[in-house]
Structure 1
Amino acid sequence: MARRCAICGRGARVGSNVSHAENVSKRKFRINLQRVKVRKGGEIKRLLVCTRCLHAGKVNKVK
């Protein structure tokens, strides 16, 4: 399963760790994905959705 939002398609971004001695190494900034039950086309499906989409109201959660 890909670490991407099912709604907006956001994924991880690449950045740098910078130590006190200013040594640089690559790192990943991962997005905050949540497993959410969503009603899609009359069916209830479980999707990986980022919290940005949840806060924006792009998804209606099923309880």
Structure 2
Amino acid sequence: MAKCDVCQKGVHFGIKVSHSHRRSNKQWKPNVKKVKAIVNGSPKTINVCTRCLRSNKVERAM
């Protein structure tokens, strides 16, 4: 499951095109980490993308 619980960022689909212009399906997944964070005052393990971790949208639990 590559989906951020904070910003709902998920998988993007597209077409990979090679040098010879042969086309095949491709998917780009966000960089999601399992993080122990404080949710509603209690620590909980959630899936968070690294963009949300860098921008301090998540309060980490120690």
Task: Provide the TM-score with structure 1 as the length reference.
Answer: 0.88
Residue identity in the other structure for 1:3 = A
Residue identity in the other structure for 2:9 = R
- Counterpart in 2 of 1:13? 12
Measure how far apart 1:19 and its partner are. Answer: 1.2
Structure 1 residues 10-62: Cα deviation after superposition (integer angstroms, max 9, x where no partner): 10001221111011111100000000001112211000001111111100111
Structural mapping, 1:48-63, within 5 Å: 48-63=47-62
Detail structure 1 runs of 4+ shifted over 4 Å in the superposition: none
Distance between the aligned counterparts of 1:56 and 1:27, measured in 2?
28
Matched, 1:37 2:36: yes
- Counterpart in 1 of 2:22? 23
Measure how far apart 1:3 and its partner are. Answer: 2.2
